[in-house]
Amino acid sequence: MSTNISIMPDKVSAEALILNILPDYPTCDQVCLLHLQQKIDLILMSLEAVEMGSSDFIFDIAKHLGLENILKNRLILWRLRCTNSWRRSYTHETIKMEEAKAFVIITSYRAKQLTVQIRQLLLAHQQMLEKNLPFSTHYMLSDYLDQFQSYFRSRMNCRRTKVDWYLEQEDELNNLALSLLSQVLFSTGTLGMQRLWTSLFDGAI
């Protein structure tokens, strides 16, 4: 019992310490929240597509950074990601600021580990454009785009006008995937985490 009492405050303070890396912004209206929830989910989806795998990295990093109290299990993760209004299983719930911060910290942390792959993909994109070749001719780039498209098709609600528009136009969906990838790249920088977090509140304060 005494052990629990001594550990809990440490855990809480470590969590508060890491969340305080990102500044608190005073107000965030409904439009801003919807945008924030959507952006976080899409950026995580882009990272998953780079990983070519599951979202296990989120739990590993959350545990490593002491954020496991916020992202306790898969159900909570799924519920939080379903705050994206484009999702088939949109929950109409609102993400808390500490949860949003945890996602941004985890995204930036994982993106830094994947910097080489992200740079390779963006370099390949640039080369394909310069040579006027289709993206499908580059195996890494086409794998990333296929994976992103597959996630988008399976998770997003095609009844949403914007989602339907992306699903109808493959080029635009590829552009979205590449735009998100370049945003992930910017989150790998020296001040990347702060840049990504602050950008979520642009035009909302």
Given the rule CB under 8 A, which residues bind another protein?
Answer: 25, 119, 122-123, 125-126, 129, 182-183, 185-186, 189-192, 194-196, 198-205
3-state secondary structure of 156: strand
- Of 90 and 201, the one with the shorter C-beta distance to another protein is 201
| Whole-number Å distance between alpha carbons of 89 and 83 | 9
User: In angstroms, what is the minimal distance from the CB of 39 to another protein?
Assistant: 9
Closer CB to another protein, residue 39 or residue 110?
39
Number of other residues whose CB lies within 10 A of the CB of residue 140: 15
Closest contact distance (angstroms) between CB of 129 and another protein is 6
Distance between CA atoms of residues 116 and 119, nearest Å: 5
Cβ proximity to another protein: between 77 and 173 the closer is 173
Q: Are 118 and 187 in contact, with CB atoms under 8 Å apart?
A: no
Q: How far is the CB of 33 from another protein (least distance, A)?
A: 14
Q: How far apart are CA 116 and CA 106, in angstroms?
A: 17
Give whichever of 7 and 123 is closer to another protein, judged by the CB atom: 123
Q: Output the smallest distance, CB 31 to another protein, in A.
A: 8
Q: State which residue, 5 or 116, has the beta carbon closest to another protein.
A: 116
Spatial distance between the Cα atoms of 179 and 165, rounded to a whole number of angstroms: 17
Owner of token pair 């005494």: 2
**Are the CB atoms for 63 and 14 separated by under 8 Å?**
no
CB of 99 to another protein, least distance (A): 19
d(CA 163, CA 168) in angstroms, rounded, equals 9
